[in-house]
Amino acid sequence: MHSGFVTRWLAVPLLALAAAAGADPLQVPAPERQRRVALDFPHDRAALADRLRQRIPDADDGDIDRWTASGALQSMVIGDERRWFGSAVRNLLLLEPAAAARAVPPPAPDDGPLYRAHPLHARWVSDAAAARGDDPLAIARIDPRRFRVTHTVEVEPDAVPDGATLRIWIPFPRAIAGVQEAIVLEASTPPARVAPSDDLQRGAYLEAIARSGEPTRASITYALTTRARIARLDPTLARPLDAAERERLSAQLGERAPHVRFSPAMHAWSTSVVGAARNPVDVARRLFEAVAAKPWAVAREYSTIDDLGLHALRARSADCGEKAMWLITALRLNGIPARWQSGWQLSPTDFDTMHDWLEAYIAPWGWVPMDPTHGLLASDDPALRGFYFGAVDGYRIAFNEDWGQPFSPPKRHARSEPVDAQRGEVEWDGGNLYFDRWRYRFEWRESE
């Protein structure tokens, strides 16, 4: 078990404008969206070349042109100038083996230990089989782990006038029976008000007074117990939804603009992947494996993407949220209810990251988790290889069971992240404060 706090400060470029008062918090005004795009694509060609040669010293203009044309070096024309993504070089080394082979030093894996086959996966498969016993439909909830987390938001000095009240939302774990339990708010500064447990994007709300020349901080500390969740999806036991299930789950079966749309492109791709399969487990598995095969890379801010699912389908790479939304769309298109989950991925080491995954409703099991970003593990054992099809590890904290849902209390101005809720949100009477005016720190430890 890991002991001691894992600490990480994260921040983004310096520039922000307040959103118009009274706007729908899930709708980002066009000028602000354009500004956010510019923040995500900060490099002109000279800056991109300099950053590229720090990793690939012999890279030349021909390399830049070729990799840009292929999409391996991500770029966008803004105004009349081509600009490159802030993580363009990092993503290039993930997407282009020839570039990675020329990197000095060679790139090292930057994902966590549970993104590859790990001894814990084998143990969880064995323990889950024992927990299910003679019931093949049981979803095993095993290996309880206790975590303590401190999540801090720090607003930069003079981001708002002296004496202004900052309204701050920090994500807080949802109560999920058998999966996330014994959730306790241990401390908060200033005092926090925790949203009801049934909020689909749950948070703690705090107010702090800004002082001239000083950063403004807010933090919460909480503890919770999590468990791995593992189903064994046997296609011979699967059945179609009955009429009552279809009516009850209608919201998780349909389109939901802007990110879940049954577009012609999605229809065509789904048909090519699913083929003649009709069994729900077989259909879901084919879609899961196809989405999992898309390379992972850093994505731009979701508030600047029109349709996450379609964007993931068309792009050369996709991050965890894009993959989750893509699979949700494809499952729903094929009559399989699906819903979003997201929060934070922890690990047996000091690795942690924001993370998104999903749940699919497959009768007769009910809701089962799927993580197409972890995807298929490298193993000859089918139970290990397909671990994340119907299972997730317990090294994760779920704050959200849907996307784009209202906060408690409601936000008054456009959100920095209108889809997900993992870092936090900050506003004042004058408008929203985007991520470039504040940073956050996520510290955690696992109890012995």
pLDDT tens profile 67-83: 999 999 999 999 999 99
Q: In what order do the strands lie in the sheet with 431-433?
A: 193-194, 203-209, 165-171, 425-428, 431-433
pTM value is 0.94
Q: Tell me what pLDDT residue 25 has.
A: 80
pLDDT tens profile 369-427: 999 999 999 999 999 999 999 999 999 999 999 999 999 999 999 999 999 999 999 99
* pLDDT > 70? residue 17: no
Inter-residue contact 223 to 150 (CB < 8 Å): no
pLDDT tens profile 82-141: 999 999 999 999 999 999 999 999 998 878 999 999 999 999 999 999 999 999 999 999
Retrieve residue 431's tokens: 């408008």
Q: Tell me what pLDDT residue 172 has.
A: 98
Q: Tell me what pLDDT residue 105 has.
A: 95
Categorize the per-residue pLDDT at 26 as very low, low, confident or very high, splitting at 50, 70 and 90.
Answer: confident
Q: Tell me what pLDDT residue 16 has.
A: 37
3 state SS of 47: helix
Task: Judge residue 113's burial from the number of C-beta atoms within 10 Å of its C-beta, 0-12 exposed, 13-18 middle, 19 or more buried.
Answer: middle
* Vertex 407: Cα angle to 405 and 410 (nearest 5): 115
Categorize the per-residue pLDDT at 23 as very low, low, confident or very high, splitting at 50, 70 and 90.
Answer: low
Q: Tell me what pLDDT residue 4 has.
A: 33
Question: Residues of the chain with pLDDT > 90: what percent?
Answer: 93
Q: Tell me what pLDDT residue 111 has.
A: 86
Q: Tell me what pLDDT residue 109 has.
A: 83
d(C-alpha 314, C-alpha 330), whole Å: 14
Q: Tell me what pLDDT residue 316 has.
A: 95
- Report the mean per-residue pLDDT for the chain: 94
Task: Judge residue 313's burial from the number of C-beta atoms within 10 Å of its C-beta, 0-12 exposed, 13-18 middle, 19 or more buried.
Answer: buried
* pLDDT > 80? residue 195: yes
Task: Judge residue 334's burial from the number of C-beta atoms within 10 Å of its C-beta, 0-12 exposed, 13-18 middle, 19 or more buried.
Answer: buried
